[in-house]
A and B are shown apart, each in its own frame.
Chain A
Amino acid sequence: MIERSLSSWTRHYIIILAALLVLTVVTVVVAGINFGAPSINVIVALTIAATKGTLVALYFMHLRHDHPINAIVFATGLAILALFLIFCLIDVETRAPIEPANFKPPAGAAPQRTAP
């Protein structure tokens, strides 16, 4: 852990807080913009969120100045999560479509809750 005076810590943290608040406003504004494909909105929103998360992790959580093992631990967790998502998506997105000609919705399914 680095040594700092309280006023130095305060300065650093206020800068980070300001950045976080600005990015929050940006997120909301950008969400309203139509980029054509909805997936672009998702990517932009997640990128901004990731930036905010990184700022919190690096500065509020001190990863910037800590022993590197802590950052490695966190990054590994994120990597494993990414693997999980990616492989599941590979499966779900590459399944061959199933269109049995004689498909009927199950009897007794509540009408308001019919799957789209």
Chain B
Amino acid sequence: MNGPTSEHGAAHLSYLREKRGLKSWLLTLDHKRIGVMYLWSVLIAFALGGFFAMVVRLELLTPQKTLIDADTYNQAFTLHGAIMIFLFIIPAIPASLGNFVLPLLIGAKDVAFPRLNLASYYVWVTGAVLALVSMVTGGVDTGWTFYTPYSSTTGGSVSLIVLAAFILGFSSIFTGINFIATIHKLRAPGMGWYEMPLFCWGAYATSVIQVLATPVLGITLLLLIMERVFQIGIFDASLGGDPVLFQHFFWFYSHPAVYIMILPGMAIISEVIPVFSRKTIFGYKAIAYSSLAIAFVGFLVWGHHMFVSGQSELASAIFSFLTFLVAIPSGIKVFNWLATMYKGSISLEAPMLYAISFLLLFAIGGLTGMFLATLAVDVHLHDTYFVVAHFHYVMMGGTTIAFLAGLHYWWPKMFGRMYSEKLARWAAALVFVGFNLTFLAMFVMGSRGMPRRYYNYLEEFQPLHALATFGSWILGLGLVLILGYLLGSLRKKPDAPPNPWGGKTLEWTAASPPITHNFEQVPVVTRGPYDYRPVEGAP
């Protein structure tokens, strides 16, 4: 055992205790502290985005006006989407959990560029503040996709929120640059690429997308601002421009962006399932390469968001075909995870409950993507609630559930405390039930023609909308419960052992919580990351 098992009388204090005071946090270069600051920040963003979701669902309880007028409703769904996507889901796993755990997983003392890491956090904060300002100085009602010509001609604070998104993009880019360099250069002795935990492969693939795709969003948003301020003409048909070109520019980033969202989630699942099946991962290389494959193929499919926008038939057919391909590596992962569990010794603590939920919910989300990839079917399903259900199943049932799995899995490592397992299981059940009640019916609604983003709707859809609203309350309750017992755990004395789950990756050889430099001595790696074979000579 390398380090002190408690914070008392240890040679080094934990990273939480070694330096005290606000300044030591705000100016920290420690990846663990930066990860923790990011964690609270993205959780606040999640709560704000969730608030707007509740407003939307409440309004949709009745077919006509329930609470707010139509313009306010448009702002509510726009802000729900923009906050959730730019402030929560894109940074959440990489910047909070990833920042904390990546150096530990590879046996390093920090990420490659600690100052860049801190900078990425403050850039996030700047973007968040600008987004908040835009909300209160005129609001935005364009939808998070900012399609032209509406977004280039309407009033409101569009330029401000677009500027905020531009700035947030840099935060994402900085994290991506840091992780790629870290994984290439800072692995511990003995850890080649194929001895690395699979979380690192997922983080690497995510970072590649962050670096390659985000700048295109940057230029898209700049062009949108130029269009608003100067009427340059590129996206305006009356000036000879092409509004569909905006969609090409926008989705060239925003489609790979969804893989920025899901790959880290899958990376967490690859960590949790072997540990809670007490069995080595099935198909390590297949899972590793499938992460890279998803990243690559993900750049080739963006036009599937534009089948009915005026894109040429040839381009649509090509994009449809390529979109089918991207399901293959995802499917490979799901089968490998299942094979890992097969004949394993399964234990159903909270992280594993979330991981198993992920398998089911991501499968539904991914498969329904295939319906949408099918050109002829998409003509009917585009811009209906079917799409809304699909992306909530992959982003919430997938990524957010995986985030919760990772949060519970690494909570003892990050804060040295165990949370209440009983409450955690209740919450996991509430989240699972609430989520499905909210979103499952939306597939039905969408296929029957209920359009998305609509304020008023036909009477016949009310029962399903009411069910979804009711489901959202159960989901919200579950999430609030999670926050409650996690925060409650922090009030206890530190009671977490270094390795509560019996994991085989390097972070579990460090103290819970780790010392500032992570390991007392540089680890030397001699076994694989999921090696559950008995150690030779052990009793």
Contact = CB atoms under 8 A, between A and B. Distances in A.
Direct contact between A and B in the complex (CB less than 8 angstroms)?
Answer: yes
B245 interface: yes
Given A83-B299, A91-B303, A115 B216 contact: no
Contacts of B242: 92
A94 B212 contact: no
A106 B315 contact: no
A116 B238 CA distance: 10
B429 interface: no
A83 B297 CA distance: 11
Contact of B238 (A77, A87, A90, A105): A105
Interface string A103-116: 00110010001011
Given A83-B300, A84-B216, A91 B244 contact: yes
Interface in B171-190: 184
Given A91-B303, A91-B312, A109 B248 contact: no
B312 A90 contact: yes
Contacts of A116: 240
A116 B233 CA distance: 12
Interface string B174-209: 000000000010000000000000000000000010
Contacts of A94: 312-315
B310 interface: yes
Contacts of B299: 80, 83
Interface residues of A, number: 21
Contact of B312 (A69, A77, A96, A113): A96
Q: Which residue among A105, A109, A113 has the maximum number of chain B CB atoms within 10 Å of its CB?
A: A113
A113 B239 contact: yes
B70 interface: no
A24 interface: no
Given A69-B184, A91-B315, A80 B310 contact: no
B286 interface: no
State the majority secondary structure of interface residues on A: helix
A114 to B, nearest CB: 8
A88 B248 contact: yes
Interface in A41-94: 69, 76-77, 80, 83-84, 87-88, 90-94
Contacts, number: 56
Interface in B222-250: 233, 237-242, 244-245, 248
A115 B239 contact: yes
B311 interface: yes
A84 B252 contact: yes
B376 interface: no
Contacts of A84: 216, 252
Given A84-B252, A113-B239, A91 B311 contact: yes
B303 A77 contact: no
A4 interface: no
A69 B244 CA distance: 36
A11 interface: no
Nearest to A93: B312
A80 B216 CA distance: 11
Contact of A90 (B184, B241, B318): B318
A69 B313 CA distance: 38
Contacts of B244: 91
Contacts of B311: 91, 95
A93 B318 CA distance: 14
A109 B238 contact: yes
A88 B299 CA distance: 13
B310 A95 contact: yes
A31 B238 CA distance: 32
B212 A95 contact: no
Contacts of A92: 242, 245, 312
A90 B315 contact: yes
A80 B212 contact: yes
Contacts of B233: 113, 115
Contact of A87 (B239, B303, B310): B303
Q: Which residue among A87, A93, A94, A106 has the maximum number of chain B CB atoms within 10 Å of its CB?
A: A87
A88 B238 contact: no
A98 B66 CA distance: 42
Interface of B: 184, 208, 212, 216, 233, 237-242, 244-245, 248, 252, 299-300, 302-303, 310-315, 318-319
12 contacts: A69-B184, A77-B212, A80-B299, A84-B252, A87-B315, A91-B244, A91-B315, A92-B245, A95-B310, A109-B238, A113-B233, A115-B241
Interface of A: 69, 76-77, 80, 83-84, 87-88, 90-96, 105-106, 109, 113, 115-116
Q: Which 3 A-B pairs have the closest CB atoms?
A: A115-B240, A91-B315, A94-B312
